[in-house]
Each structure stands twice: as C-alpha cells, then as structure tokens.
Amino acid sequence: MQKQAEFPEAIKTKYPEQIVIAVARDKNGKANPITLGWTMLVSGKPPMMAIAVASTHYSIETIRHSKCFCLAFPSSEMADAALFFGSKSGRDIDKFAEFDCKIAPAEMIDSVLLSDAVANFECTLESETIAGDHIIFVGRIVASHISTETQKRLYTVGPGHKLGSVS
C-alpha cells in the first residue's frame, strides 16, 4: 500500500544510484572532472548517454566550450576521487592537479579518460535541454573503453554521499 510523502522523503528510495564522472576541457584547456549521479542511456543506435548538471556548475561552461565530454564509470576503488571531484569547483582549482587520479588522452575527442575506471565513453555533444535547476546534456558515444581488469562499479548507496559497490 502507498502513503503520500514529501518528495525529499520519497526520493530516498532511489538508492543505490549509479555514478559517472564527466570530464570536459575549459577554454584554457584544463580538463575538469565532475561526479554525477543523474545519468542515463538515451539511445541505442546511435549510442547516446545523457547527464543532468546543475545550472550553476562550472562544468556547464566546459561542456558548452568543448562540445564534447568523456563519461567514466568509476570503480568501487575510486570513492575518494568521486567525492573530491563532486565537492570542489573547477572555477577554483585544477582538480586533476590536486587529486592524484591516473588519466590518459581520449582518442576521438579532445578530453581525457580515467585510467582506473570500469569504462570510459567518449561523447560529442548532441543537444542540451533546460530542466528546472539543471541542464540535460546528451552525448553521442564515438568511442568506448573498458578496464583491462575486472572491477566493480561505484554507486551512491545511501543519503549523505555514502559510496560503495553493490552486488
């Protein structure tokens, strides 16, 4: 049976929620990673993924500038990186300079891959749509990469940015 609830209470039932790290270069060439929980696949042929980014975030500028981004599925070992990239702003710091995270050049777009991620998807910007306090960016996947090792994906497993793997 159902009972009415306020949205903030009801949405706590969403966990575990998948995490991605989106990376785009700003106008100075600095690659800027942001951790996002709001992401989904949106097309099979051609393959496309979407992310929702808060309108005030620096990543909005970087994605609009470079018109492409990489989406990494962080591994369960990357919780500290995910928390760092998700809590600092690229307006203030160079996140990759301040947090030790192995990166490699993307192959088809001007961005970077996270070497220790479960997978990386190189995307060209397909569209953007305003949705309330966020912008939905749709990316067309032009190259895909997976880890050479078997790894588990990272999830938000509960409120308060509690991160971990699931099984």
Q: CA 72 to CA 76: how far, in whole Å?
A: 12
Q: CA 119 to CA 147: how far, in whole Å?
A: 6
Can you spell out the DSSP letters for 62-73? HHHHHSEEEEEE
CB nearer to a copy of itself: give 95 or 140. 140
Minimal distance, residue 27 CB to a copy of itself, in Å? 26
CB nearer to a copy of itself: give 39 or 66. 39
How many C-beta atoms surround the C-beta of residue 144 within 10 A? Answer: 11
CB nearer to a copy of itself: give 26 or 134. 134
Query: What is the DSSP pairing of strand 17-18 with strand 48-54?
Result: unpaired
The residues binding a copy of itself (CB under 8 A) are: 1-7, 9-11, 13-18, 37-48, 50, 52, 73, 104, 107, 113, 115, 117-121, 126-127, 129, 131-134, 136, 138, 140-141, 143-149, 153, 155, 166-167
Minimal distance, residue 64 CB to a copy of itself, in Å? 17
Q: Which of 106, 142, 113 is nearest to 125 (CA)?
A: 142
CB nearer to a copy of itself: give 40 or 65. 40
Minimal distance, residue 83 CB to a copy of itself, in Å? 19
Q: CA 87 to CA 91: how far, in whole Å?
A: 12
Minimal distance, residue 28 CB to a copy of itself, in Å? 26
